[in-house]
Chain A
Amino acid sequence: MIISLIIGAVLVAVTVIIYNSIISRYNKVKRAWSDVIVQERQKEKIIPELERIVKQYDAYESELQQGITSLRTMMGEISEGEINTKKLQEVEASTSQILKGINVSMESYPELKASSLYNNLMTELTEQQENVGAAIRIFNNNVEVHNTGIESFPNNLVNSLLNKKDVLELFSDTASSDSFEFKPNL
């Protein structure tokens, strides 16, 4: 009788620990996702400044304006509450295109390229972009820990009965991975 009670108490304790650890890791994934969005928003704040200075130099082209407008729209569609890696991929691809577009446009305006404010803005934008990349790496790392945490035994039993959390999708840069011929057998 006593042994059964001890075994039962140990099982309950283990279940509670696993349940809480799944919740904790899932919340960390959600927070890492929020950080990605926060970094994206930080980047967004630089764009009006960039627009303003580009306009001063008459280097503002309608194509570039359209790109910046669509980037803003896409950024508005990704939210902190919902993990949507596909939409994030679109935003990231769009950012790269716009940055390339700005750099190409600026080739014709040497006085703009020499402007320290323009250079500072571009440095800031690059660093923000690198921070977005770092936030994505942290998000992916947390997703990996979360997925392992709900797929390994006996966590999978606790998850299927109590937590009911799904395996989360990693963020992957399809534009970059498409350029590789090798596709891992995952």
Chain B
Amino acid sequence: MFRHNKKLTALLKSIKISAQQSNNSADILDAVKMAKAFEGDIKFQHNPFYLCSGAAIATAVLIWYQPQIISQWELDHNLFLSILAVLAIVPLIFVYTQRKKITSLSDFIFAKDCRFDNHMESISVSDSVISQLPTRFIEFKRGNYSRKFISATHVAAQHSALANEYYLYKFHYVDRRTVTTTSTDANGKVTTSTKTVYDHYDRYGITLDFGFIKQFQISNKRMLRKPRDYNSASIAFSKKFAIGASTELAAAKYLKPKIVLLVMDLAKHFSDLNIEFDTQGHLCLAFRDSDVFSRKRVHGLAQPNAFYEELQGQTALDKLDILTTFINQLAKYSDNNFEETT
């Protein structure tokens, strides 16, 4: 059993190194082939740990109800129970950690394959395009305590479903607030206490050079840079979104009926949308959904053959497709059809 666990640990280590060094989908598949070739199940054998934990829990329960059992040994009752608690919990933590190794590695492999399939290249968050976003878009004026980019991805023009290259990012911000609680004790004495609470939020987005629309924003009322009274004639749209633009005229020009319907359709798939165009015509489209740039895997390394087959196929990112289709449609209805001829 311990030999199996040792061999499995070594295998996972090799797969991890191969996956980390992989440069394409074929390399990823080669890494998973190692799991396919492994003799035995890709599963740690933990029976002795369960046995140890179970025995400790059973002993603790017994001593709890029959303390006289250990009184003859002159042992500290509480100390003995504490030792049993450690003996019950530590093996379970160890089991969890080992199991987690397999699921984490499966997640890593699947995410990396998904990036290869969709031609996504990880870039540093200090890349100039990403680091300059907060100076160009109000989207990043969130969080009264802290804000930072967690990750960034680049998709080159030749692989892009859009006319241009684009960037994807994950942004994290923290709001700090003070909560005051008042409690009354049995004697009627009122005690007031305050504590600081930190609320953590993640936002995701896509940014690219759009060009056809400038200084325009479709968002909720709180997040507008230049709020305008103008809104669509649509009752449903104006309930959900407010408009920001350089002038009322610009707002009316950009907010064509077809664009209103496109945004309403997009809002069915994405929550808390903020569609923002800066003065240069760069687009930043942000939302709260975390499932746009990745997908949940069906199988993992524990089922190597099924996982291999899953990785062999093209991992489609349905919500990213919805997003790119929307941006293409937006370009279609915002561009000037006579630009080349006039």
B182 at interface, CB cutoff 8 A: no
Q: Which residue of B lies closest to A136 (CB)?
A: B257
Tell me if A134 and B233 are in contact (CB < 8 A): no
The contact of A137 among B261, B333, B340, by CB within 8 Å, is: B261
Chain A 108-146 near chain B by CB (<8 Å), digits 1 or 0: 000000001100110110010011111101110110010
Tell me if B338 and A141 are in contact (CB < 8 A): no
Tell me if B338 and A120 are in contact (CB < 8 A): yes
Known: A117-B341, A138-B261. A131 touches B333 (CB 8 A): yes
The contact of A120 among B235, B236, B261, B337, by CB within 8 Å, is: B337
Residues of A within 8 A of B234 (CB): 28, 32, 138, 141-142
Tell me if B333 and A28 are in contact (CB < 8 A): no
Question: How many angstroms from the CA of A126 to the CA of B266 in the assembled complex?
Answer: 22
Residues of B within 8 A of A142 (CB): 233-235
Q: Chain A interface residue count: which class?
A: 20 to 34
B258 at interface, CB cutoff 8 A: yes
Known: A116-B341, A117-B341, A124-B338. A131 touches B235 (CB 8 A): no
Residues of A within 8 A of B232 (CB): 138
User: Chain A nearest CB: distance from B81 CB in Å?
Assistant: 62
Residues of B within 8 A of A139 (CB): 233
User: Chain A nearest CB: distance from B114 CB in Å?
Assistant: 34
A43 at interface, CB cutoff 8 A: no
Chain A 33-52 near chain B by CB (<8 Å), digits 1 or 0: 01100010000000000000
Question: How many angstroms from the CA of A123 to the CA of B333 in the assembled complex?
Answer: 10
Q: Which residue of A lies closest to B340 (CB)?
A: A116
B256 at interface, CB cutoff 8 A: yes
Question: How many angstroms from the CA of A138 to the CA of B238 in the assembled complex?
Answer: 11
A25 at interface, CB cutoff 8 A: yes
- Chain B contact residues: helix, strand, loop or mixed: helix
B260 at interface, CB cutoff 8 A: yes
Question: How many angstroms from the CA of A123 to the CA of B335 in the assembled complex?
Answer: 11
Question: How many angstroms from the CA of A132 to the CA of B258 in the assembled complex?
Answer: 8
Tell me if B340 and A35 are in contact (CB < 8 A): no
Question: How many angstroms from the CA of A137 to the CA of B237 in the assembled complex?
Answer: 12
Q: Which residue of B lies closest to A132 (CB)?
A: B257
Question: How many angstroms from the CA of A141 to the CA of B240 in the assembled complex?
Answer: 15
The contact of B258 among A34, A131, A141, by CB within 8 Å, is: A131
A31 at interface, CB cutoff 8 A: yes
The CB with the most chain A CB atoms within 10 A, among B232, B237, B258, B338, is that of: B258
Tell me if B257 and A127 are in contact (CB < 8 A): no
Residues of A within 8 A of B256 (CB): 131, 134
Chain B 195-237 near chain A by CB (<8 Å), digits 1 or 0: 0000000000000000000000000000000000000111111
Tell me if A127 and B333 are in contact (CB < 8 A): yes
Question: How many angstroms from the CA of A31 to the CA of B261 in the assembled complex?
Answer: 16
Q: Which residue of B lies closest to A33 (CB)?
A: B233
Q: Which residue of A lies closest to B262 (CB)?
A: A134
B176 at interface, CB cutoff 8 A: no
Question: How many angstroms from the CA of A28 to the CA of B237 in the assembled complex?
Answer: 12
Q: Which residue of A lies closest to B338 (CB)?
A: A120
Tell me if A138 and B340 are in contact (CB < 8 A): no
Tell me if A28 and B235 are in contact (CB < 8 A): yes
User: Chain A nearest CB: distance from B37 CB in Å?
Assistant: 56
B13 at interface, CB cutoff 8 A: no
The contact of A35 among B235, B238, B257, B341, by CB within 8 Å, is: B257
Question: How many angstroms from the CA of A117 to the CA of B261 in the assembled complex?
Answer: 28
User: Could you list some 19 contacts between A and B, CB below 8 A?
Assistant: A25-B235, A28-B233, A28-B238, A32-B234, A39-B257, A116-B340, A120-B337, A120-B338, A121-B337, A127-B332, A130-B333, A131-B258, A132-B257, A133-B258, A138-B233, A138-B261, A141-B234, A141-B236, A142-B234
Additional A-B contacts beyond A130-B333, A142-B234 (5; CB < 8 A):
A32-B233, A39-B257, A116-B341, A133-B258, A141-B234
